Amino acid sequence: MKSFYNLALCLGALFNAATAIPPEQQGQQPGKFAAAPPVGSNPIDRKGWTVKCSSQASNYPCGRAIDGDKNTFWQTPYGTTNTPPPHTITIDMKQTQYVSGLQITPRQDGNTRNWIGRHEVYLSSDGTNWGKPVAFGTYWGDKYPWITNFETQPARYLRFVALSNVNPDYPWIAIADFVVYNALKYSPPAKGLGKWGPTLDFPVIPVAGAVEPVSGKVVIWSAYRYDAFQGTTPRGGFTLTSIWDPKTNVISNRNVSNNHHDMFCPEDYHSHA
């Protein structure tokens, strides 16, 4: 009984000490998410392309997403109409390309209410049969370009589906520039062997991860910066995390705050004879 009493006193002391620690100040975020276009690929010339969107606001037509001008943009309806997601943009590249990735630039006029969150990417050779997504996930919300890379596939058509805004209070999205990448070399997968599945776009860089044993969900985490760890002062005091649910393919994100730690570091264990 005495040992349980002592344990309770120790836990109580630890709790009081933890609650007495003031909240830590957030460290400076990097200028933009650290992402790069696919290696060995170039942007495809958009001359002659046609594009269709599920909806468009007045004066912000679909074609502005591929006009090469980042000061113009395609915008879904807003105001009294507020067309809800999903929002789709379908591009006809007019000929088969070895598609390896894409880059989307959001509005550059300071408006933060049109950033894309959850999304899916599809490829097609005929514009009718799309199959399963080649990539899906959730973007980190900021004004810088979002990049999605995936296993190279020959395709003429690309469809991007915006499933949500980063802020669930806003149903609309906008795209200022849409770039598609073409691989300089392509070799079809060998028959009888395995092949890569879809790319998972996480809103943070997966520094480490674990599988929840009961649900099967995959938990990954970074630090207080979404793409780096800086051992400087002030420290973050929280950890940015993301969860992928393989059953629904939903990738969510969460800030685990005020834990007085900047990330949960995995240990490297070695067995010894």
Lowest mean pLDDT among 19-28, 30-39, 96-105, 262-271: 19-28
Q: Which residue has the higher pLDDT, 132 or 28?
A: 132
> What Cα–Cα distance (Å) separates residue 12 from each residue in 8, 15, 20, 21, 261?
6, 5, 12, 15, 21
* Per-residue pLDDT at 105 exceeds 50: yes
The 10s digit of each residue's pLDDT in 215-250 is 999 998 876 665 555 555 555 556 778 999 999 999
Domains of the chain listed by start with CATH number:
41-187 (2.60.120.260), 202-273 (no CATH)
CB atoms within 10 A of CB 103: 19
* Per-residue pLDDT at 21 exceeds 50: no
HEC readout, 115-136 = CECEEEEEEECCCCCCCCCCEE
Q: Are 150 and 41 in contact (CB under 8 A)?
A: no
Quick one: which of 29, 118, 107 has its CA closest to 73?
Answer: 107
Cis-peptide, bond into residue 189, ω within 30° of zero:
no
pTM listed for this prediction = 0.82
DSSP at 66: G
- b/e 121-142 (16+ beta carbons within 10 angstroms → b): bbbbeeeeebeebbbbbbbbbb
